[in-house]
Structure 1
């Protein structure tokens, strides 16, 4: 009887050891494959992804579409309030702390809609703009950043000069394009009637 009890006890210990090893291997494997946190990314000399934490919940300003991308433009509460007060159409600048996030997807046709509808497909990138006149005095008071999305790794990375459009990978990467709307405080997107 003692032998059976000892054998059962040894089997339980062995199974527990195997279970513990399996758990440790699974945890280690998950750790090695874990994607870097998008909130640890930063454009050299400029904006950090973490500065826009929670952008997914910001209010929509507008949507846009080109042949290669469709986008939703979101703004933080500071900027939404400025839009509602008539900025930039009233000639006033956006207040410090105004922020925009622009999410780009590859357009695709809906498989579920009863009529033809273009909808967001694969995520392409996320662009950010922040008003900080002291920090970004040499780019109209705005800092810019673009982060590309890689679906294979489920990660973001700062855009570079080899991207389309080219990003010089600094805080003023979008400034050149935005100079054509200087009279609107460098912001393309209007706040349409709703």
Structure 2
């Protein structure tokens, strides 16, 4: 049996597809209207808080923070497939928080053993674009506090100097994918 063509269904499907493409483009393209970090011009990518989980990390010492690391679809696919170096357009975002004991949880457990994310400290962004960031191994960096780019050129330049200490096989990325 032959189905009838429905103009309304066609229009509805076309509108839905256009919205989906628009949202996908917004998720992967940094918002140029947002304040950019110095040196690399990196901005907070729209929708990054909805990206997929890569891993967590705890930095002791001076930072004493806990970090959640997220990636856009390009970075996640590369990590899952074991594709290194990362492809163009990969973006990795690190959310850092104070690493604090949980009084509530510790009261239940009867000893100090539970730690949680406290106040946010900063968000760091790493974007792969080998042409734009050729002098820094193809990666551009940014750091943000309270949604605003940290204006310190010294801090932003220090990103690359630490990342270059990693083995070449890591493609200047600290975090491995947690399965």
Decide which moves more: 40-49 or 75-84. Answer: 40-49
Structure with larger Rg? 1
Match of 2:59 among 66, 90, 104: 66
Equivalent-residue separation in structure 2 for 1:175 and 1:118 (angstroms) = 30
Residue 108 of structure 1 deviates from its aligned partner by 1.1
TM norm structure 1: 0.65
Q: For residues 173 and 132 of structure 2, what CA distance do their matches in structure 1 show? A: 18
1:54-104: per-residue Cα shift (whole Å, max 9, x none)? Answer: 1100111000012311100100010000011013xxxx3110000011011
CA deviations over 1:123-162 (Å, ceiling 9, x no partner): 100000000000000000000111123xxxxx5341525x
Instruction: State how 1:24-173 maps to structure 2 within 5 Å.
Output: 40-50=34-44, 52-67=45-60, 68-87=64-83, 92-113=84-105, 114-115=108-109, 116-149=113-146, 156-160=148-152, 166-167=154-155, 169=156, 172-173=157-158
Alignment size in residue pairs: 138
Are the aligned partners of 2:42 and 2:141 in contact in 1 as well (CA < 8 Å)?
no
Cα root mean square deviation, aligned = 1.8
Structure with larger RCO (C-alpha < 8 A, sep 6+): 2
- For structure 1, the residue ranges without an aligned partner over 5 or more in a row are 1-38, 150-154
Map of 1:8-19 to 2, 5 A cutoff? none
TM-score (norm 2): 0.70
